[in-house]
Chain A
Amino acid sequence: IAGITQAPTSQILAAGRRMTLRCTQDMRHNAMYWYRQDLGLGLRLIHYSNTAGTTGKGEVPDGYSVSRANTDDFPLTLASAVPSQTSVYFCASSEKAGSTDTQYFGPGTRLTVL
């Protein structure tokens, strides 16, 4: 089934630990995005990638890093997790960057940092 998968579905993490959230899409979309969703704040862009090999910072990038080694995968890493990173994380993709293409979202990862 075409779409976006994310792993893990949920995770409880001790503060200070390193964590990588995985995202894979099979739609051959060029652009990929990571958002966090917090109650009352809506979805906020963390990092994005316009195409394989390139990444950029979004609205709230501090404490997060990404890589885009190929078209399909776009992992998000928390180098040293803090409680304020407790959130629901959504990965999304769109056919091409710099356009108004529809973004399609993965099922999300619910992360709790204690």
Chain B
Amino acid sequence: GQNIDQPTEMTATEGAIVQINCTYQTSGFNGLFWYQQHAGEAPTFLSYNVLDGLEEKGRFSSFLSRSKGYSYLLLKELQMKDSASYLCAVYAGDYKLSFGAGTTVTVRA
């Protein structure tokens, strides 16, 4: 099976920066996604990495190191609306998407 690990919870202050780490061990690798999920809602797409390096998209950036089986999602200039769960997901060799359990981020004023 696939193994994807991320911290359960993180807390940060409004305006600060938070980094959510994700490590994975999968049978093959075809790309890594980050999704945002607000409580009671559907997951929504944030970012996709398939090559090593940093992808920046506004306040959110995602990094990938395939040799280390590691990714992180960086949230800058945190806002209250960023309070949500962040899901790390990997397309393994069979092109099925496997998800981590998610990291709940709480932003405090």
Number of interface residues of A (CB under 8 A): 23
Expressed in whole angstroms, the Cα–Cα distance for A35 and B44 within the complex equals 14
Chain A residues 39 to 53 lying within 8 A of chain B, measured CB to CB, are 40-45, 48
Taking a contact as CB atoms under 8 Å apart, the answer to whether A99 and B42 are in contact is: no
B15 smallest CB distance to A (angstroms): 29
Cβ-defined partner of B99 (8 Å) among A43, A48, A104, A106: A43
Cβ-defined partner of B41 (8 Å) among A43, A103, A104, A107: A107
Taking a contact as CB atoms under 8 Å apart, the answer to whether B87 and A42 are in contact is: yes
Residues of chain B within 8 A (CB-CB) of A44 are 99
Taking a contact as CB atoms under 8 Å apart, the answer to whether A105 and B42 are in contact is: yes
Which has the most chain B C-beta neighbours within 10 Å: A42, A45, A58, A106? A42
Chain A residues 84 to 114 lying within 8 A of chain B, measured CB to CB, are 90, 97-100, 102-108
Which has the most chain A C-beta neighbours within 10 Å: B8, B41, B43, B98? B43
B60 smallest CB distance to A (angstroms): 15
Expressed in whole angstroms, the Cα–Cα distance for A103 and B95 within the complex equals 12
How does the 8 Å CB contact mask read for A62-86 relative to B, with 1 for contact and 0 for none? 0000000000000000000000000
Cβ-defined partner of A100 (8 Å) among B43, B50, B99: B50
Expressed in whole angstroms, the Cα–Cα distance for A41 and B27 within the complex equals 19
8 pairs of residues in contact across A and B, judged by CB atoms under 8 Å? A42-B4, A42-B87, A48-B96, A100-B31, A102-B45, A103-B45, A103-B97, A108-B42
Sorted nearest first, the 9 A-B pairs with minimum C-beta distance are A105-B42, A42-B101, A100-B31, A43-B99, A42-B99, A98-B95, A100-B91, A105-B43, A102-B45
